[in-house]
Amino acid sequence: MQQTHTAAVSDPIFEVRDVSVSFDMDRGESRVLDEVDIDIQRGEILGVVGESGSGKSMFASALLDAVVDPGVLTGDISFHPEDGPSVDLLDRSDDEDIKDIRWRQIAMVFQGAMSSFNPTMTIEDHFRETLSIHDYDVEEGMERARDLLSDLYLEADQVLGSHPHELSGGMSQRALIALALVLEPEVLVMDEPTAALDLLMQRSIIELIKDIARERDLTIVFITHDLPLVANLADRLAVLYAFEFIEVGPADDVLTGAKHPYTRALLNATPNLDTPREEMRPIEGAAPDPVNVPEGCSYHPRCPMADETCVREDPPLDGDDDAHAAACHYVERVPDEVPLTIREVTIND
């Protein structure tokens, strides 16, 4: 199991300990989240990054105790709201209790707004239904909905009166963000929320998310495979590989001085207009099968630095300080042996 990583100034809204998600399959147990430990700090924007199939979406679902059957979620997730007692999210026997926490305190924005909306309902119907289900004053909530839509640069009356298919992709995604915020949650979990949008709209929504997080004191967990996108948003980055965190640290430190060979390979493989094509390096090999994750360091079959120690021993998520940690036996050698070829990464101000 990996060691717990915490930020230097610790005020966690989530404490995640030894959390796993597994599925029983004919060919064996498929573990798609593997004993992950992390603290998520109140008010931060945490970017969770990794290749497709690395466990990002399962981590998002785990934070809401929303792993679907037949998945099995184990471990401990403590949620510390601003007001009220701490909650053990995985020890809630009453479905009404967990429903009260979801949306009211922890909301989620999924990838692809069109699949999240009911096509037979107007956008206003979605807001009213959400407010009513959670016993909110509907008319008061609709005023808040209009304010949220305006903050997201949408014409509120026009959007509320529309069906989902009548909105563009960018408009529907912003309407979904407003819907997630209408109950005034403390935490917003966003799972690839801009993946279906063009680059210009992605950048626009990222700027809107930053503004909303600041104005509404939100904690945001932003899940993506797109490092350049999250570079201009996140305060911290957590890199997933083979269903566990292999590097966690401040965004600028990770992007300019990554300590794990996988993170550096991921950066070198990222398309960048400032880096010549011949200098970009695809990551050799493939991510591991969740039924057959390698022993030792899970990255060793793809790592140019791997030796017998890496094959035998799983390195802990550790570092010289509390702020930036990496799960690698040879952190000191990584900069020389896996040099960064990228010329520039846009970093959050």
- Does residue 254 sit in helix, strand or coil? helix
Ranges of H-type helices in the chain: 56-63, 95-101, 123-133, 138-151, 156-160, 169-181, 199-216, 227-231, 251-257, 261-268, 308-312, 334-337
| Nearest-angstrom CA–CA distance, 11 and 25 | 39
Q: Is the pLDDT of residue 3 over 60?
A: no
* Local confidence band at 5 (pLDDT 50, 70, 90 cut-offs): very low
Instruction: Quote the pLDDT of residue 96.
Output: 59
Instruction: Quote the pLDDT of residue 344.
Output: 57
- Does residue 108 sit in helix, strand or coil? strand
- Does residue 226 sit in helix, strand or coil? coil
Instruction: Quote the pLDDT of residue 94.
Output: 57
Q: What is the pLDDT of residues 264-306, one digit of tens each?
A: 999 988 766 555 556 556 788 888 889 989 999 999 999 999 9
Contact 329, 297 (CB under 8 A): yes
Instruction: Quote the pLDDT of residue 286.
Output: 83
| Structure-model confidence comparison of residues 77 and 231, the more confident one | 77
Give how far Cα 95 sits from Cα of 17, 58, 327, 349, Å.
22, 20, 37, 41
Q: What is the pLDDT of residues 48-71, one digit of tens each?
A: 999 888 999 999 999 999 898 899
If you average pLDDT over each of 99-103, 169-173, 229-233, which comes out highest?
169-173
* Rounded mean pLDDT, 22-36: 90
Q: Is the pLDDT of residue 165 over 90?
A: yes
Residue 3 DSSP code: P
pTM: 0.90
Q: Which residues of 173-198 are buried (b: 16+ CB within 10 A; e: fewer)?
A: bbbbbbbbbbbebbbbbbbbbbebbe
Contact 91, 172 (CB under 8 A): no
- The tokens describing 310, both together, are 């890496």
Q: What is the pLDDT of residues 122-158, one digit of tens each?
A: 999 999 999 999 899 999 999 999 999 999 999 999 9
User: Considering the chain, what is the average pLDDT of its residues?
Assistant: 88
Least confident of 2-16, 170-184, 223-237: 2-16
Element (H, E) at 191: strand 187-191
- The tokens describing 109, both together, are 């924005």
Residue 82 DSSP code: S
164 preceded by cis ω (within 30°)? no
* Local confidence band at 346 (pLDDT 50, 70, 90 cut-offs): low
Instruction: Quote the pLDDT of residue 2.
Output: 45
| Structure-model confidence comparison of residues 25 and 246, the more confident one | 246
Instruction: Quote the pLDDT of residue 6.
Output: 42
